[in-house]
């Protein structure tokens, strides 16, 4: 199988970065459903780990991969929140200008 592998050099960092990116994108894409999105991604991470243990896939289950994904989600949510606050601070409001 050919392709480009983008990796951070450590499996847990890869999981954390992937889920941080997913939750940050979802934070801005569905602002009214952030809690639902987070629960869905936590369940998705658990399902991925559960499916990896199937004999046909041939990989090992690892609860630490799921935990790394959850930590990544927490980091992604915090970074998205900071970004949102910073972007809101930079917005120009005609009503409050001189």
pLDDT at 11: 84
55 vs 66 pLDDT, higher one? 66
**Averaged pLDDT for residues 14-38:** 92
Q: Residue 34 in contact with residue 23, Cβ under 8 Å?
A: no
- Is residue 25 a part of any domain in this protein? yes
- Is residue 55 a part of any domain in this protein? yes
Mean pLDDT for the chain? 85
CA distance 40 to 21: 14
> Burial level of 62, CB count in 10 A (0-12/13-18/19+)?
middle
Counting the structural domains of the chain, the total is 1
- Is residue 64 a part of any domain in this protein? yes
**Averaged pLDDT for residues 38-64:** 88
- Is residue 5 a part of any domain in this protein? no
At residue 61, the 3 state secondary structure works out as coil
**Averaged pLDDT for residues 11-20:** 92
**Averaged pLDDT for residues 26-53:** 91
Q: Which domain holds residue 60?
A: 11-88
- Is residue 30 a part of any domain in this protein? yes
- Is residue 17 a part of any domain in this protein? yes
């Amino acid at each position: 199988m050919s392709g480009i592998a983008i990796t951070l050099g450590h499996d847990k960092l890869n999981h954390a970065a992937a889920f941080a990116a997913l939750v940050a994108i979802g934070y801005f894409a569905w602002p009214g459903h952030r809690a639902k999105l987070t629960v869905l991604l936590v369940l998705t991470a658990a399902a991925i780990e559960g499916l990896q243990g199937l004999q046909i896939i041939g990989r090992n289950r690892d609860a630490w991969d799921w935990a790394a994904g959850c930590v990544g989600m927490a980091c992604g949510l915090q970074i998205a929140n900071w970004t949102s606050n910073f972007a809101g601070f930079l917005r120009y409001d005609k009503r409050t200008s001189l």
